[in-house]
Structure 1
Amino acid sequence: MSLHQLDIAPRDVSAGALGLLLDGPAPTPLAQLRLPGAAGASVVLGVLGASHVVAAEVRGHRLTEEVSCDAVAAGGRPLPAEQRSGGYAFTAATTTATRAELDATAARLRARAADDPAWLCGAFPGAADALTALTAQPLDGGWAWQTWHLYPAGDSGELVTTRTRWVP
């Protein structure tokens, strides 16, 4: 089970503040999950303050992806809808959701993280739907991962989803 109730206020509380940083030093996560792959490959999924960091390794190649409010100040860029480079492909989408939609999404993500060992979910105090969830799957020669960031605000909120494929 990889469902963590974190006893810390989220640092990232708005999708508009998120950025993407590649190959920077990985910040220390509040919760993490290491998944092994074939031939020594591995991926470490990490929940930051309502954002994420992923560190992947395949055949001596390493990649670090950080999506957080600190990413731009650390040398990254504002969260793009898409970024491709070599064997790296990233997409992100931000949607506005009603509180009921956020609640349903949070419940679904919590259930997946409770039942599936390839999922990590960090829940933050103050709202049941304030959480970050990640999952990863090995690919032939790489990794794929998905993330969900839920930012409740009153009767609605924002949902940021990302998808990444990396085959170096």
Structure 2
Amino acid sequence: MRTRIDTRFADSRAADLSLSYGLEPLPALTTLRVVLPAVELELRVLGASHQVVVGPGAATWPPSSISLWPSSWSETVACLPDRLGTLPDHEEAVIDGLRVRFAARCHRRLTAGELAAKVAGIVRDSENDDRVLVGEFPGVPYGVTALRAWPESGGAAWRTWHAYPQAGELVETLSAVRPA
């Protein structure tokens, strides 16, 4: 789903992003519910940030418990005021009964043309996929936050893209979660 965000793009940069697990759902500019064979996700664009809420009734808080998925759970990659910008390159852990994998990569010092080509590819590849959420900011060429989800090994996986046109940066993340 491609959505034009009806708010001003807040300039930030990749170095300000942090990774958090288990946060309550934060105010979202747009959302997309994705039902996969083993789990339900809510993809959430928070601006130049994202949150993925995992579990049955994904955006319901406090989490409910079921046997396969011990609790609703969230991954948040955002510029949060109470956290330092420390986005890990790679992380694997068991958290709240879930096996979690996370990887991040930042493309820095992209020219306007390079960023335009990368963003155009992301948008083009998302056009016929009902498991993709693309938030586009008006008045900011190539200002997008995008999330794509798919089923993986009894759980779910997702890739995200955060474009920071003023800084010439594009952050890509890849995550997977399944019961431990």
Using the size of structure 2 for normalisation, the TM-score is 0.83
**Equivalent residue in structure 2 for 1:82, among 81, 90, 115:** 90
Establish whether residue 160 from structure 1 lines up as the match of residue 158 from structure 2.
no
**Equivalent residue in structure 2 for 1:47, among 45, 48, 69:** 45
How many equivalent pairs are there?
Answer: 162
Q: How does 1:1-150 map to 2 (within 5 A)?
A: 2-11=1-10, 13-38=12-37, 41-57=39-55, 59-61=68-70, 62-70=72-80, 73=82, 78-86=86-94, 87-96=99-108, 97-150=110-163
State the Cα distance separating 1:113 from its structure 2 match. Answer: 2.8
One-letter code aligned to 2:55: E
> Which structure: greater strand fraction?
1
Percent identity of equivalent pairs: 34
State the Cα distance separating 1:29 from its structure 2 match. Answer: 1.2
Matched residue SS, 1:105 = helix
d(CA) in 2 for partners of 1:31, 1:112: 19
One-letter code aligned to 1:27: L
Runs of 4+ off more than 6 Å: none
d(CA) in 2 for partners of 1:107, 1:23: 32
Using the size of structure 1 for normalisation, the TM-score is 0.88
One-letter code aligned to 2:51: V
Q: What are the superposed Cα offsets for residues 30-82 of structure 1, whole Å, 9 maximum, x if unpaired?
A: 1111111225x201111111110001127333220010101x61x68621111
Matched residue SS, 1:167 = strand
